[in-house]
């Protein structure tokens, strides 16, 4: 059994979660579930980033202490993971002094022992939104383009990390794909930055200015800079720096970091430099997703277009939201959310598509053959093969914008599932779901071709075989949906009275139609 350590980034808890983190959580969950299906020993980490100036300012604005604010918001992030059926094994909070601080401080000490930390006075432009010093070239009309606010001019004595020392090594690692970055155009972005050469970076802030954070080991006048603090979560959660570090020995290095495009530099440059300095193994793959806009605009409380994931889960279901984020949003590109688009996709593909197919098939079987549905003889099944009944099986490849066509007959085992697996292994979630729905469309055409609702009047044995094939097709769809829509897949297997491990060799199904999977909205 191969180990597989996968992480989300740590969302910042100065505000409640929005749909952007929901996107990252479900993308990471799909990979974790898929690797478990393949038989890997998966350790899936998520958590919250809880220190820094933004937290202090948000707490003051809310009339709370920083601890009260992060406790409240961290609970909301944990609740969102639960409501979305995210299968994380652990949840790390950077304010956890028992678990996180010892790991963060141990990493600091390892870097210091290498001689890669020094004190210096720095004067520069500080963006509170980024929790980072920025340069004039990052500004438009004197404001940070990401946060639409002017930076503060700060002059202070900080510890600095000799990141420049590792610039060439990081460049070599990424150029040779020893650290693989998906997609390639994000790799090109970081390579362009590395071509310019990395500069040493501020690694602490004076504790008199920011006391809410991890103290620098051996220097109480300084607080660990938020990125040094937050990035170390990936090892602190595994017990690095503590007496119980068995998880660190077992699971490190990370096999996959899933992050947003705005923090690529921190993960592909600063984090790698920290690990090189500390002499730790390096992550293998960094997956970089885009942002979600709302009606074509960046989400903003001022505009009033912030999308609340809890509201969508309550009104439509967790799997409906998972479906939208995984199929209607391309994995590596920016995506846009509108309620109109969401409802349209829900009704067309979940209510009228998947839900209607499962309901029709299960009800026809019970109506014509009862709840205990026996497998017909192979000779009858061979006479009504599960194959495409259109001239060509057409599956849209949205990632490339092309339409792929395949000659009939097609085979689930020989074509559909291998192509689905290939897409998932390449993190092409939308593509894998396109293949799943392409197969579902062929199942619908199979029913239209044989018309079992008419065939039952003249040939019961042939109808029996046709409906067995449609039931098998329903379960094959459920099998492919397991990483994506886990609760829906579970319900489909329950409807047919079987399990993912046993359906292919079943001699009978015990069918309970139940309620529709996705009521039309």
Q: State the Cα–Cα distance between residues 125 and 62, nearest whole angstrom.
A: 26
**Closest of 23, 40, 43, 38 to residue 84, by C-alpha:** 23
**Six token digits for residue 350:** 């979940």
Residue 484 belongs to some domain of the structure: yes
pLDDT band at 130 (very low <50, low <70, confident <90, very high): low
Residue 152 belongs to some domain of the structure: no
Spell out the residues 6+ positions from residue 355 whose beta carbon is closer than 8 angstroms to its own.
516, 517, 518, 519
Q: What element of type H or E holds 45?
A: strand 41-48
Which pLDDT tens digit goes with each residue over 12-71? 999 999 999 999 999 999 999 999 999 999 999 999 999 988 898 899 999 999 999 999
Q: State the Cα–Cα distance between residues 40 and 32, nearest whole angstrom.
A: 9
Task: Give the pLDDT of residue 402.
Answer: 54
pLDDT at 408 over 50: no
Residue 18 belongs to some domain of the structure: no
pLDDT at 138 over 60: yes
Spell out the residues 6+ positions from residue 212 whose beta carbon is closer than 8 angstroms to its own.
51, 52, 55, 56, 66, 223
**Strand boundaries in 88-190, DSSP class E:** 90-93, 117-127, 132-134, 139-140, 143-144, 152-161, 180-182
Beta bridge partners of residue 345, listed in sequence order: none
The mean of the pLDDT values for the chain is 91
Residue 176 belongs to some domain of the structure: no
**Strand boundaries in 148-262, DSSP class E:** 152-161, 180-182, 201-202, 204-206, 215-216, 219-224, 256-260
**Six token digits for residue 371:** 């709840």
pLDDT at 226 over 90: no
| Cα torsion 463, 466, 469, 475: sign | negative
Which pLDDT tens digit goes with each residue over 509-521? 999 997 889 999 9
Length of the chain: 521
Which pLDDT tens digit goes with each residue over 317-362? 999 999 999 999 999 999 999 999 999 999 999 999 999 999 999 9
With helix as H, strand as E and coil as C, how does 227-246 read? HHHHHCHHHHCCCCCCCCCH
Residue 66 belongs to some domain of the structure: no
Q: State the Cα–Cα distance between residues 370 and 470, nearest whole angstrom.
A: 16
Task: Give the pLDDT of residue 392.
Answer: 44
Phi, psi of 195 (to 5 degrees): -60, -35
Q: State the Cα–Cα distance between residues 73 and 7, nearest whole angstrom.
A: 20
Which pLDDT tens digit goes with each residue over 189-218? 999 999 999 999 989 989 988 889 999 999
Total domains present in the chain: 1
Q: State the Cα–Cα distance between residues 183 and 288, nearest whole angstrom.
A: 7
Task: Give the pLDDT of residue 323.
Answer: 98
Residue 469 belongs to some domain of the structure: yes
Residue 381 belongs to some domain of the structure: yes
Residue 451 belongs to some domain of the structure: yes
Q: What is the CATH number of the domain that holds 426?
A: 1.10.730.10
Q: What is the mean pLDDT of residues 165-188?
A: 98
Q: What one-character-per-residue DSSP string does 342-376 give?
A: HHHHIIIIIIIIIIHHHHHHHHHHHHHH-SEEEPP
Q: State the Cα–Cα distance between residues 471 and 457, nearest whole angstrom.
A: 20
Helices 167-175 and 271-278 pack at an angle, to 10 degrees, of: 110
**Six token digits for residue 398:** 């949205």
**Six token digits for residue 235:** 């090892």
Q: State the Cα–Cα distance between residues 256 and 233, nearest whole angstrom.
A: 14
pLDDT band at 391 (very low <50, low <70, confident <90, very high): very low
Task: Give the pLDDT of residue 388.
Answer: 61
- Count CB neighbours of 131 within 10 A: 21
**Strand boundaries in 421-510, DSSP class E:** 508-510
C-alpha angle 287-288-293 in degrees, rounded to nearest 5? 145
Q: What element of type H or E holds 292?
A: strand 292-294
pLDDT at 459 over 80: yes
Owning domain of residue 489: 338-510
- Count CB neighbours of 244 within 10 A: 8
């Amino acid at each position: 059994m191969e180990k597989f350590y996968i992480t989300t980034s740590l969302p910042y808890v100065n505000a409640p979660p929005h749909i952007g983190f929901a996107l990252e959580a479900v993308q990471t969950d799909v990979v974790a579930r898929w690797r478990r299906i393949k038989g890997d020993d998966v350790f899936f980490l998520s958590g919250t980033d809880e220190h820094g100036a933004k937290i202090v300012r948000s707490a003051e604005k809310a009339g709370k202490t920083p601890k009260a604010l992060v406790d409240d918001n961290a609970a909301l992030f944990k609740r969102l993971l639960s409501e979305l059926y995210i299968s994380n094994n652990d949840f790390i909070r950077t304010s956890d002094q028992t678990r996180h601080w010892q790991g963060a401080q141990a990493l600091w000490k390892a870097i210091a022992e290498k001689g890669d930390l020094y004190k210096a006075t720095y004067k520069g432009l500080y963006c509170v939104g980024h929790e980072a010093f920025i340069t004039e070239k990052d500004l438009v009309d004197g404001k940070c383009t990401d946060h639409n606010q002017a930076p503060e001019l700060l002059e202070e004595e900080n510890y600095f990390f000799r990141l420049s020392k590792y610039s060439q090594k990081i460049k070599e690692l990424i150029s040779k794909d020893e650290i693989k970055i998906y997609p390639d155009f994000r790799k090109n972005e970081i390579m362009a930055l590395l071509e310019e050469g990395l500069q040493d970076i501020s690694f602490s802030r004076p504790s008199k200015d920011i006391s809410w954070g991890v103290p620098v080991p051996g220097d109480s006048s300084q607080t660990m800079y938020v990125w040094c603090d937050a990035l170390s979560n990936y090892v602190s959660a595994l017990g690095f720096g503590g007496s119980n570090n068995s998880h660190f020995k077992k699971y490190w290095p990370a096999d996959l970091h899933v992050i947003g495009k705005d923090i690529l530099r921190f993960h592909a440059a600063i984090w790698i430099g920290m690990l090189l300095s500390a002499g730790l193994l390096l992550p293998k793959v960094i997956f970089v997703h885009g942002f979600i806009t709302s009606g074509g605009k960046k989400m903003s409380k001022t505009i009033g277009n912030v999308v609340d994931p809890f509201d969508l889960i309550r009104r439509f279901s967790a799997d409906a939201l998972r479906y939208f984020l995984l199929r209607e949003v391309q994995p590596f590109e920016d995506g846009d959310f509108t309620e109109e688009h969401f409802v349209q996709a829900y009704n067309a593909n979940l209510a009228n598509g998947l839900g209607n197919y499962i309901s029709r098939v299960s009800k026809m079987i019970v109506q014509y053959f009862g709840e205990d549905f026996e497998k017909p003889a192979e000779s009858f099944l061979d006479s009504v093969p599960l194959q495409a009944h259109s001239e060509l099986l057409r599956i849209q490849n949205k990632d490339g914008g092309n339409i792929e066509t395949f000659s009939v007959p097609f085979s689930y085992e020989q074509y559909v599932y291998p192509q689905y697996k290939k897409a998932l292994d390449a993190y092409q979630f939308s593509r894998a779901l396109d293949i799943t729905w392409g197969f579902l469309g062929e199942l619908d055409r199979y029913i239209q071709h044989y018309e079992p609702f008419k065939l039952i009047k003249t040939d019961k044995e042939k109808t029996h075989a046709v409906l067995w094939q449609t039931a098998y097709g329903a379960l094959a769809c459920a099998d492919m949906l397991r990483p994506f829509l886990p609760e829906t897949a579970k319900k489909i297997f329950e409807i047919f009275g079987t399990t993912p491990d046993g359906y292919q060799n079943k001699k009978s199904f015990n069918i309970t139609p139940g309620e529709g999977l996705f009521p039309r909205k």
